[in-house]
Structure 1
Amino acid sequence: MEGLQQLYYLHGIGYDFVKYDGEHVVFDALTRQTAIECCGIKTNDQHVVDRLNFELDIAPWTRVVEPVTLSDSDSGTFVIKVVETLKHSIASIKVPSANIDITVKLSECDEVGDYIHSDNRYVALKINLGKLPIGYLDLLIEGAFGQVVTELWSVPKQCYNPYVSHSSKKPLGVSLQLYTLKSDRNYGIGDFADLKQLIAQFSKLGGDFILLNPLHLLFSAKPEEASPYSPSHRCLINPLYIALDDVQEIVGQECAELFSSVADLGHRRSVSSKFIDYTQTSNVKYVLFESLYNCWQQSARQEAALNTFIEEKTSILGDVELSQFEWFLQWLASEQLQHCQSLCIVQGMEIGLVNDLAVGCTGGGLEFESYRACFSEQANIGAPPDPWAEQGQNWGMPALNPIKVKHNNFAYFKSLVRSNLSQVGALRIDHVMSLRRLWWCFAKEGQELGCYVYYPFEYLLAILKIESHLHSSIVIGEDLGVVPPEVTQALEESAIFGNTLFYFEKNQNGEFKASEQLRKNALIMVANHDVPPFHGWWSAADIDIKFDYALIDEHQRHHQKQARGIEKARLISWINKHDLPDIEITASSQEVYQAVMHVLASSPSKLLAIQLDDLDLQEFPVNIPGTNTEYPNWRRKLNHELVEIFELNRDFIQQLNAIRKQQ
C-alpha cells in the first residue's frame, strides 16, 4: 500500500461497504479523493502525501509515547516504543496521582510489536504498573531516550453498568420529548418544573428512569429552528426549559421576590395550541429572563455561585463566547436539571434521568465555531442509501475530521461526554455507530457523492468507559440500522446497552421476533421520535397525515395502508402466541398497545421504556424524517396534562412494574 491509497487508509477514508440490499459497493477514486480533500489535504502534491503518510504511520514508532497512552485499569498495562539498541537500558516511570515511582528494566518487558525504518528496528514493549485508578493520569518516563510525558488513560474493561451480569433488576422507564408537556403554568413549552411533576407522578408508580430528548442549546435568535437533534452546542442547555416559577432556591429569596413584584408572570402563560409557536414562546420567556437577570443584578445575588459554575464549565469547554446573561441562563438551566435528577434519587428511582446526545451540531452554531479546527471542510454527515431514501440522506451537519478529533488529547469529545453525563443517571448516544464511522456527504464536479469515514474508535470508546465510571452513569447506544459487526461486539463487551425499537424487530420473513429472542442488554421501546406513536400507527393515521401534508400521493397511501394491514395482522398473531387473553384485529389501539407492552415487560431486555405519547393516545408524530417545513416537526404537544395521563394509566403502569420486578 503506497502513496494516496495508504493515506486514505491512515486517514480513515473508507474503501467499501455493504448496501442495505446486500450489494457490495466499492467507492470510486473521485469519491475517496474528494473525501480527503474535505480534510484540507492537497492530493496532487506528492510531498504532502508522503509527509502525512510518514506522520501517521512511521513517526509514532520513533516516539516513546504519543500524547495519549491507553492502559488497562486492572493491570496498569501500557506500551512504549524504543529503538532496539535501547532495549537493554532502564526507564524511570512516575504516575504522581497514583503514587507510582518505579524503575523498569526494558530487557525484562515483553516485546509486542516491531517496525523497521532507516535501518533501525523499533520495538513495542509492554509495561505493567498494577491496578490503577480509573481516569486520566499524568505519566512521566525518563531513560536513555530522554524524558517524555503523556496522558495515561486508565480504562476499565466496561462502562459503569450494574444491570449487565450481576443484577436481576429490570428497570421500567418512560420516554418523552420534554417540550411537548402540556400544563397551565408553562409558557407553551414543557419545562423543568413539568419534569419535576413527571418525576413525582412516575416514581409513585415504581418508575425507574425518564428518557429525555436532547436538551442541547438551540438558536435563541432563530426560535423556529426547533430540532433538538440540530443544536448550536451540545454541551449547553436550551434556556427555554427553565421554569421561571422555580428559581428561588437558585437565585435567592430576595431576587425571587423582586422578580415576582416587577414581572407579570401570568402574561400570555397559557398556550393551548396543538403545536408550539416557538417564536411567541421564546419572545415571552426571554423578556422574563431579562427581567429576572436585572433583578438578580440588583439584589444580594449569588455571584460566587455563578462564577464557580462558569469556571467549571470553561474548564471543560475552554473559552466559550457567552455573555454573563447567557451564562446566567446556563446556570439556571443546569441547576434545575440537577434538582430534577436529585428528585429522581430521593423518590427512589433506580436510574433517574437519561440524557440524549445528538450525533452532531449545526454549522455556524456555537459548538462548530468553538471547535472549527476539528471539523472537515464542505462535508456533512448523513446516511447511505436505504429503502426510504435511495439517494441517501444529508443531515446538514458538518463532519468531524477523524485526525483533528485527537487534538488536545481528545478534549472535544471528552467535553461532549462529560457535559452530557454529569447530571443524569444514564446517557443515550444517538447513532452510536458514529464512534466507529460516519457517512459523509459532499459534492464534486456537479455530483453528489458520499462514503464512510472511520474514526479512532478505541479512544472514543475509552472516553465513554472512563467518564461513565467517573459519573456512575450507564451508557445506551442507539444502534438502529446497519451496524458494523465490530461495533456490535464492542458495545456488548463494553457493557453499553443497545437500543431496540419493537417496530423493527422482525425476522427474515417479516414476522415479529419472539419476545424471548429480543436482546438482553438493550433498552427496548415500541417507538421513538422518528416513527409514529402506536395509536397513530394502529389507525394508520400517520399515513393519512403524510397524505394530508402532500408527502405521499393517493396511490402510495393505498399501498401503504395495505401493507399496514398485513403488519397489524402479524402483530395480533404475535400477541396471541404469548400467555395473554387472545385479541382480535378489531380490538382498540389501546387494548393492543397494552398487550404489546405486557409481552415486552416479560422479555429479556434489561431496560423497557413506555412512550409518553402512547399513554397520551397520541396519533400525530412529533417528527416525520425527511421533512423540514412540510410538516411541523418538533412542535406537536401532548393532548392531556400529566396528572390526567398518569391517572388514566395508573393500573397499566403498575402492572408493567409488577411484571418487571417479579422476574
Structure 2
Amino acid sequence: MTPTPTTDEWGIDASWLDALDEEHEVAQATIDRLREVIGQPPADLEDRAPIVARPGDALEIDQADVVCEDGEVRHVDGELPADFPLGYHWLSSPRGAVAGSSSPRPVLAPAGRAWGWAVQLYAARSRGSWGIGDLADLRAIRRMAADQGAGFVLINPLHAVAPTEGQEASPYLPATRRFRNPLYLRVAEVPGADGVDLEDEAGRALSDGSLIDRDAIWARKREVLMRIFFAHGGGEAFARWREEQGQPLHDWATWAAIVEEHGGDWHTWPAELRRPQSPELTAYVERHGAVVAFHAWLQWALDLQLTAASGDMTVIQDLPIGFAGGGADAWAWQEALAEGVSVGAPPDAFNSQGQDWGSPPLIPWRMRDADYEPFIQSIRATMAGAGGLRIDHVMGLFRLWWVPSDGSAADGAYVRYPAEDLLDIVALESHRAQALVVGEDLGTVEDGVREAMAEHGVLSYRLLWFEDDDPARWPAEAMAAITTHDLPTVAGLWTGEDVEEQREHGTGTEEELERGRTSLLAHLPGLEEGASIEDAVTHAHERLAGAPSTLLSATLDDALGELRRPNMPGTTDRPNWSLPLPVLVDDLAAHPLLQQVAKTLADGVGTAD
C-alpha cells in the first residue's frame, strides 16, 4: 500500500514519494523555512473566505440571503437548491458577508471525438510573417485543419512578457497569465494600419534568419504599432472595450508602461511605484497616459485578432503553471505570493537534480483570502475567445513543489492547495466560456488526482512516449498524443539526432542517454531497422490513431519530420523556443507527410468505436 504523507497545518507534506514509490523525508530546515514563508492565516479567515459550492450542496450555515450576480436575492436554508444559478455570488450570514461561488461538478464535455494539430505558434511562420508566427498564421492553420476534418488546434501559451529588450523566449514563464503577447499581432491587420507606412518589406525580412529573434521583432513591431496607435487610437470601440476590462487591464497597462522606463522587474523600480495602490502611481499614470493607453490598445487588437483566428473551431490555449516573479501578475498580487521560494519539481527519472521553474507560488490561504481572484482571472483570461484550455502541470491544483531560494530543487517540499475549490472554479469558468479542459497529468501523479479530474470532467493527457499500455487501452476521457515540446520528435528519436544533440549539450551521461532512447524506441514496436523518417512518423501516428481517447493530437513538428524538439530542458546554450518550422504555413497543406498524418488520425477518429 502506498504510504500517505503527513501534512501539517501549513499544508506542508513531511515526506514525498518518487516515481518508484520510494519515500523521502523533507529536512526540518526546509519545513521551518516554508512555515515562515506561508505564515499564519488570520483568526477570522474562515469567517470571510469564499465558500465554493455546487447546487444541492449543504452549506456551512443554516440560514442566509444570497445576492446573486444579476442582483436577485435568494434565501438559502441549509443547502443550495438544485436550480440555484451558477456564478459568483455574495452570501450574507450571521457571521458576516462572504463571497461565494456556485459551480457545476463537471466541466463542459467535448462535442464528440476529434483530432487536431498541436502548434508552437511562434514557430509557424508564413510569407506574411514578421519573423514570428502570428495570429493571422493561426487563422490559416485553423482553416487548413478544418479542411482536413480536424476539430481543434492546440497552441502554446500566448501570454505577454515584459515589453523590453531581452524578450523572454519561454512561453511558460510569462509576465502575466491574463494578457497576451503583442508579438503575435499581424501588424497589417491592426485597426488603422492602412493609414500608415508599415514598411512591410523590412518586417518580412525578419523571417530571413534561421532563428526567431524576438528582440528585433519586438523593436520593429513596437515602432510601427506605436505609429498606428497615435494615428488611429482605436476610436470609440477601443474606449468601450477598455472601460469594460476594468482594473485588471489598467494594472497590466500601467505595469507595462513603467517597465519601459524602469525595467522588467518591479522589485528594482523606485519604491513609490512598487505597489499598485500607492498614491504616487496615479500621478505616474497621468504623466504617462499615452504609453499606458498604448499597452491597453495592444490588448484590444490582440483580442480582435484571436477571435478572428479562432473562428468556429476550438482553439485550446495553454495555461502555464506560474508567472515571472518580477512580472505584472506578481506586482498586482504580491500580497498573495510567497517570497523567497519558487515552484519546481523534485528529482525524478528524467532529472536527477530536480527542477526549479523560477515562478513564485501563491500562498494557499492568501489566495482564498483574495477570493481566489488570482486563479479565477488567469483561468478566465486563458479560456477567453477560443473554446478550450490545457492546464500545464495540473497536479499543481493539488500540491506544488516549493523550492527555497537558498537551496537546490532537491531541497524542496510539497505544499497542499484547495484542489476541490480550484476544480470547481475551473468547471464554472468552463461553462461560462463554453470551453473544454485538458489537464497535463504527466510524470509522477499521486493517488486521487486522476480520479478527481475524471469526477470534474477534466480530460487526462496521455503520451505514447510515457505510456506502457498499448494505445488501444488508453482511457476515453483523455487527449492522446505522441510527444510534447519538451520531448523528442519522432524523427529526432528515430534517427538518433535528438540523443546526439543531448550529448552536445551534456544533458546526461552516455549510459543515461542511450537508456532513455532505448526506452522510447520501445513504443514503436514492429518498425523495421533502417525505416525512413516518413515510415517512422506514419507508424507512430497509426499507433496513436488506435487510442479510443476523445481527442487525438499531432504536432506539426512531427508531421513535417522535424529533427529538433522545440525545447530541451536543462540546456542554456541551445536556442530553445526559437526554432521555426522547416515549412512555411502557406505550404503546409501540400506537404505529403503532413497529409498522411492528417488522414491517419481522421481515419482513427472516424472508425474507432
Query: Smaller-chain TM-score range?
Result: 0.7 to 0.9
Q: 1:480 to 1:241 in 2, by over 3 A?
A: same
Q: Distance in 2 between the 1:448 and 1:127 partners?
A: 45
TM-score norm. by structure 1 comes to 0.80
Match of 1:38, SS?
helix
What's 2:100 paired with?
A: 152
What's 1:183 paired with?
A: 126
The code of the aligned residue for 2:52 comes to L
The code of the aligned residue for 1:488 comes to R
Q: 1:311 to 1:127 in 2, by over 3 A?
A: same
What's 2:200 paired with?
A: 265
The code of the aligned residue for 2:480 comes to I
Q: 1:458 to 1:328 in 2, by over 3 A?
A: same
- Please say which of residues 464-473 and 647-656 is displaced more in the overlay: 647-656
Q: Distance in 2 between the 1:334 and 1:101 partners?
A: 36
What's 2:497 paired with?
A: 541
How far 1:546 moved relative to its partner? 2.2
The code of the aligned residue for 2:50 comes to V
Contact 1:442 1:448 in 2 (8 A): no
Match status 1:380 vs 2:342: yes
What's 2:537 paired with?
A: 593
The code of the aligned residue for 1:564 comes to R
Contact 2:126 2:586 in 1 (8 A): no
Q: Distance in 1 between the 2:365 and 2:246 partners?
A: 24
Q: Runs of 4+ in structure 1 displaced over 6 angstroms?
A: 445-448
Q: 1:353 to 1:448 in 2, by over 3 A?
A: closer
Match of 1:274, SS?
coil
Match status 1:474 vs 2:436: yes
Q: Distance in 1 between the 2:571 and 2:221 partners?
A: 28
Match of 1:397, SS?
coil
Deviations, residues 591-640 of structure 1 (Å, cap 9, x unaligned): 12212212321211111111000112111121110122x11111001111
Match status 1:295 vs 2:228: no
Match of 1:237, SS?
coil
Match of 2:368, SS?
helix
Q: 1:154 to 1:224 in 2, by over 3 A?
A: closer
How far 1:315 moved relative to its partner? 5.0
TM-score norm. by structure 2 comes to 0.87
Match status 1:395 vs 2:395: no
Normalized per residue, the structure richer in strand is 1
Structure 1 residue runs without a partner (length 5+): 1-5, 42-48, 83-90, 105-125, 164-168, 507-512, 577-582
How far 1:309 moved relative to its partner? 2.3
Q: Distance in 1 between the 2:204 and 2:586 partners?
A: 19
1:614-633 superposed matches below 5 A = 614-628=558-572, 630-633=573-576
Q: Distance in 2 between the 1:454 and 1:563 partners?
A: 32
Q: Distance in 1 between the 2:179 and 2:73 partners?
A: 37
Q: Distance in 1 between the 2:451 and 2:60 partners?
A: 27
Structure 2 residue runs without a partner (length 5+): 1-5, 257-291
Equivalent residue in structure 2 for 1:161, among 85, 91, 109: 109
What's 2:472 paired with?
A: 516
Count of residues paired in the alignment? 563
Q: Distance in 1 between the 2:450 and 2:515 partners?
A: 34
Q: Distance in 1 between the 2:483 and 2:114 partners?
A: 18
Q: Please tell me whether Structure 1 or Structure 2 has the larger radius of gyration of its CA atoms.
A: 1
Q: 1:516 to 1:292 in 2, by over 3 A?
A: same
How far 1:95 moved relative to its partner? 4.4
Match status 1:333 vs 2:269: no
Match status 1:418 vs 2:361: no
Contact 2:125 2:134 in 1 (8 A): no
Q: Distance in 2 between the 1:92 and 1:361 partners?
A: 38
- Please say which of residues 480-489 and 647-656 is displaced more in the overlay: 647-656
- Please say which of residues 315-324 and 413-422 is displaced more in the overlay: 315-324
The code of the aligned residue for 2:60 comes to I
Match of 1:218, SS?
coil
- Please say which of residues 412-421 and 275-284 is displaced more in the overlay: 275-284
How far 1:440 moved relative to its partner? 0.5
Q: Distance in 2 between the 1:444 and 1:562 partners?
A: 33
Deviations, residues 55-74 of structure 1 (Å, cap 9, x unaligned): 56xxx4xx5xx44223322x
Q: Distance in 2 between the 1:460 and 1:559 partners?
A: 38
Equivalent residue in structure 1 for 2:88, among 136, 154, 162: 136
Q: Distance in 2 between the 1:315 and 1:131 partners?
A: 32
The code of the aligned residue for 1:159 comes to V
Contact 1:178 1:191 in 2 (8 A): yes
Match status 1:279 vs 2:215: yes
The code of the aligned residue for 1:431 comes to H
Match status 1:70 vs 2:52: yes
Q: 1:53 to 1:517 in 2, by over 3 A?
A: same
Match status 1:127 vs 2:79: yes
What's 1:560 paired with?
A: 513
The code of the aligned residue for 1:401 comes to I
Match of 2:571, SS?
coil
Contact 1:16 1:25 in 2 (8 A): yes
Q: Distance in 2 between the 1:595 and 1:272 partners?
A: 34
Equivalent residue in structure 1 for 2:146, among 203, 222, 227: 203
Contact 1:10 1:53 in 2 (8 A): no
Deviations, residues 280-304 of structure 1 (Å, cap 9, x unaligned): 222211111112112214xxxx322
Match status 1:256 vs 2:193: yes
The code of the aligned residue for 1:560 comes to L
Contact 1:384 1:391 in 2 (8 A): yes
How far 1:652 moved relative to its partner? 3.9
Match status 1:660 vs 2:605: yes
Equivalent residue in structure 2 for 1:359, among 304, 312, 321: 321
Match of 2:195, SS?
helix
What's 2:186 paired with?
A: 243
How far 1:317 moved relative to its partner? 6.0
Match of 1:621, SS?
coil
Match status 1:313 vs 2:313: no
